A and B are shown apart, each in its own frame.
Chain A
Amino acid sequence: AQSVTQLGSHVSVSEGALVLLRCNYSSSVPPYLFWYVQYPNQGLQLLLKYTTGATLVKGINGFEAEFKKSETSFHLTKPSAHMSDAAEYFCAVRAFNQAGTALIFGKGTTLSVSS
């Protein structure tokens, strides 16, 4: 079975500061990993995904994440935060050989950006 733990339910940064949102996963088979963002009153939007190959994955809006198997982590980073990045972020996992099964989501991290 797969599971996801997002460390820190709330992260606050200043505009221009580094954003680091932490995600650790548990999976008995190689995982596929995803980060989604949710703005108020909107659906979840895919930021990036890791499937196979390069472990550093670049996504939209300047975000990137690195898959570290030894640490079972998939942390999300952005070098310089913008006010528009304020939202809720979800990490999700699916086993690579289970195309039809649902994504398993973490509880989410709310990112606040102050000026």
Chain B
Amino acid sequence: DTGVSQNPRHKITKRGQNVTFRCDPISEHNRLYWYRQTLGQGPEFLTYFQNEAQLEKSRLLSDRFSAERPKGSFSTLEIQRTEQGDSAMYLCASSLVSGGSSGANVLTFGAGSRLTVL
């Protein structure tokens, strides 16, 4: 178990370009979450998946953002037509939720992908 892996760790792009981040969760985890963290703020929820199904999306996830988890394993987060306000750390987390599990399931976070939009 190598933990949650995120790539790339850093991305610098020009405004208007598209960027894609990848997250590889812990292999046995069925839940995968995306968060955004800006300077001086806590992580803000964007979206999450149960296996390949995207079950919840935050209002922060504008139509320029799209996330997929096609085979229920790795996930991608794409940002189209980037804006300077998209500059942030994008965090991925995963967890295992079984049938009888409650909200106590613990999220394991990756180190994040830092996006800078010039």
* Contact A99/B105 with A43-B112, A107-B40, A108-B42 known, Cβ cut-off 8 Å: yes
Q: Chain B interface: which of A11-19, A45-53, A66-74, A76-84?
A: A45-53
Supposing A32-B103, A102-B56 touch, asked if A107 and B41 sit within 8 A by C-beta, the answer is: yes
Interface size on A, residues (CB 8 A): 31
Q: How far is the CA of A4 from the CA of B41 in the complex (A)?
A: 12
- Dominant SS at the B interface? loop
Determine the interface band of chain B, counting residues with CB < 8 A from chain A. 20 to 34
Report if A90-B43 is in contact (Cβ < 8 Å); known contacts: A44-B91, A49-B104, A99-B101. Answer: yes
Q: State whether the Cβ of B62 lies closer than 8 Å to any Cβ in chain A.
A: no
Closest residue of chain B to A50, judged by CB?
B104
A4 — which chain B residues lie within 8 A by C-beta? 42
Contact A106 B110 (CB under 8 A): no
How far apart are the CA atoms of A107 and B42 in the complex, in Å?
Answer: 4
Report if A42-B107 is in contact (Cβ < 8 Å); known contacts: A90-B43, A99-B102, A101-B56.
no
CA distance A28 to B41 in the complex (A): 24
Known: A42-B111, A43-B112. A97 touches B43 (CB 8 A): no
Q: Could you name 25 residue pairs across A and B whose Cβ atoms are closer than 8 Å?
A: A32-B104, A36-B109, A43-B3, A43-B4, A43-B111, A44-B91, A45-B109, A46-B106, A49-B104, A49-B106, A51-B104, A90-B43, A92-B42, A94-B103, A96-B103, A96-B104, A97-B102, A97-B103, A98-B103, A100-B56, A102-B35, A102-B45, A104-B45, A105-B43, A107-B42
